[in-house]
Structure 1
Amino acid sequence: MATLELQQNQKTERLITILSAAIPVVVAILLGIRQKVDLGEWTTVLPHLNGVINSVTTITLLLGYYFIRQKNITAHRAMMLTSFALGSLFLVTYVLYHLSNESTPFGGEGWIRPVYYFLLVSHILLSIGVVWFVLRAVYFALTNQIARHKAVVRWALPIWLYVSTTGVIVYLLIRPYYNH
């Protein structure tokens, strides 16, 4: 039985690693497509929706942390699964927006310009890396591997919080330059 469980864990962890590499590659390919797909005018609201999604994700992550510190596992699980669902929704709406709309250039000048680009680049790079941590954290939690869950969450939570928070800040900084 233990051998079967170990094999299942190894297969799942291999799948997590493959997904963690494939998701950013697929997103980069989709974003690199120069020919935009006309999905309709509704897609112009997606950056604003994504700002809201990132804001709510930050709140649910913080609530999830609060609840686990209070040993309220049920509320913690609900907040973290909500965060995971919001992250998945963000990924879909982000790809839909960039598949159908040109990227908006940042128009800020002076000291804010390097601040914006530092936040943007760090946000993007860490959003790529956090996928692996989050998928592992969710898997370990759902399979009741709590010691492994705690070990990976030490990295996942601060990175994920940074990504969701900087997502909001980057959105607020570029918001004045959207044409819609």
Structure 2
Amino acid sequence: MMKTEMKIKSLFFGLTLMTTGFISAQTTTTASAETTQTAAVTNPTIDALVKQVAAKPDDTQTLVTLATAYQDVGDWNSAIATWNKITTIIPDWAPAYYSIGYANQSAKNNEGAKAAYEQYIAKVKPAEVDASKQNLAYAYFFIAFQDKDTDKEKAKQYIAKSLQYDGSNQDALNLSKSLMN
């Protein structure tokens, strides 16, 4: 148990550094985010990481690096599969679920993204809330946006939570106003 806790802490620190890039990637629409990558992408870095994972399948740090490398090249299916491997090894590690949501969203799989963001919200531990405010705000916003036409009450609750974590998000403020009508 102690070994898993140490892995979680070291991975959380590492992913916290990487998450800054994910946040800016979410709020900026780029041509690569607009296209869905279905074929596996390889490059020397990914090939080397795949070999490392094959040799040590439970090496979560290498898996995180591999999942991030897949995301960097827009190979969303491989990124999702790799993040899912991480959640099998560390089922309570919230950042992996956020990354699954991000990759699904980038692959235009909004249902998969919504499910992953819901898991992310459920997995964030009270001690991690302050460090996770931006990601929590975005996850709540995304779910509220997805539910606005089918479950208006849930969307209202989720957008309120999103604004609680980030009251300056103009998209969330606009959605909140539209839900009040």
The higher-RCO structure (CA 8 Å, 6+ apart) is 1
Q: As a proportion of its length, which structure holds more helix?
A: 1
TM-score by length of 1: 0.29
Q: TM-score, normalised by structure 2?
A: 0.29
The structure number with the bigger radius of gyration is 1
